[in-house]
Structure 1
Amino acid sequence: MPLDPVQLATFQAVVDHGSFDAAARVLHVTPSAVSQRIKALEQVVGQVLVRRTRPCEPTDAGRPLVRLGGQVALLEREALAAARGALGGQARTRVAVVVNADSLANWFLPVLADLPDVVFELHTDDEGHTAELLRAGAVVAAVTSERTAVQGCRVTRLGAMRYLAVAAPGCHARWFADRDPADAFAAAPVVCFNRKDAVQRRFARSMTDRDTDPPTHYVPASDSLTEAIRLGLGWGLVPEAAVRQDLADGRLVALAPGRHLDVPLHWQCWRLESTVLSALTAAVRKAAAGALR
């Protein structure tokens, strides 16, 4: 049986808003009607599609329908805006995108200004994990380090974000000056974004040829992470552009002059003939070209 568009939209509303009651309010129907539509859709598919948790989450069987529902909604909004012409000028398309925090802090925001008729819902995660939201259908596009295309998506290489290992002068003098790198990186405190953040360990291994387990501070915001390093909490890897002036002014010291770590970034988005996605991709490529290696 073909999928019922009303049932699919109801399923999308439950996932987007987290509960049957919230979906009912958005759709202006009763919670009972929402429940009946979801049960009918599950009967057509032959699988349970929604975990009745708080918030509700799609099952593995439901994830492809989340993506389909989002794609249908995007194309419907574009078609409706085109059909209305000038009368639809006040309507804006909502687009959900996931971006790694350093890109968001350093180069991605101008993309939003290039698309004034789009309402953005931005998510952040480590660049090695952003593609998970794309697989789940929760976003239409991702800035990611994953170069293999997620099913149903296009991949565009953006360039590489260059990271430098830096520390405050006092931290450098205490832990790194005149010390063997293997001993220094094993003992010196390090500042990471979160527990998914592996770039510091990768850099330390490149310097010592061994794995290290130093004391670790977690600061889940790019600007705050850089400030924590300035205050001497520990060393860390920071985007080159974010610390260029600090290095020139002596507020930070490079731990390994001439050494760096480049993280390749890619843009993955749904493979749809969509005016909004095409414009978004062009804006992302333009912004990345001026900021990435």
Structure 2
Amino acid sequence: MASSKDRQRKLARAKLDRQQARRASKLQRRRRIQAGVGAALGLLLIVGGVAWLGGAFDSDDTDAPDASASDVCAWTPQSATTNTSLKEVGTPPTKGIPTSGPQTMTITTNKGKPIVVSMDTATTPCSAASFNYLAGKKFFDNTECHELTTDGAVRCGDPTGTGQGGPTYSFYDENLPTAPPTPAPSPSVKTPPKIAPLYPRGTVAMIGNPPGSNGSQFLIFFKDFSPKTPQYSIVGRVTDGLDTVAAIGRIPVVDNGSGAKVKPKDKIVVQSVTVSAATGATPAPSTSSQS
């Protein structure tokens, strides 16, 4: 028969074996959990990498604005209540405006053959769109060119003939000329080189009130003009009817009531203005919602 010491040793050995078995089971379970977590993380990294390569984290193109459908021109509302010289005609469209190709504007006056102007929609899309819109509204019909400016241009496009009138919207300058640098004097050159004028004869430009806030008023230059600082955004050039412009420039001027001798002695009436569609482009609609 086994002694009591032998039984105690067996019991202690069995207890130790059970403890070691429990420790081994816990360790094995811990390793399985760690392996599972590591596999899951690895899978997430693989899936995330594939999604990144596929552009899943890029911005949603469906929510991004379509550049081809974005607004071309921003028309700033002007209050006819604040300025009673303004005429309510709504606003031009902001989309579908031609931005390439020429447009032809024809200005018929009571002073000779029509004045034909070529406008480049690549450099002045908003000016051309505004002329197109206002011409469709007959905004310019039977209005007077109220001023022959001291800069050598006839000023038209104000139905009130005051210099304060226009539509109930405005837009910014978009094609201001750049003044060329003044050439340095050279002792070997007796006659300095001639610098091209910023506004050559036949130039058509917008004139805003205040400057940079354009509406419907425009200038047609019958003389070359070169200010130190460009003031008027160029809309186009006269391609036919320059003799009419020259004849207008020879009309005597009288006091306009404010002490400035700029009012034409003879009435210069714009009978109509028409604008053709740009070549190869869809014309901008001539109607818009009323504001």
TM norm. shorter chain > 0.5: no
Normalized against structure 2, the TM-score is what?
0.22
Structure with more of its chain in helix, by fraction: 1
Higher Cα radius of gyration: 2
Give TM-score, length-normalised by structure 1: 0.22
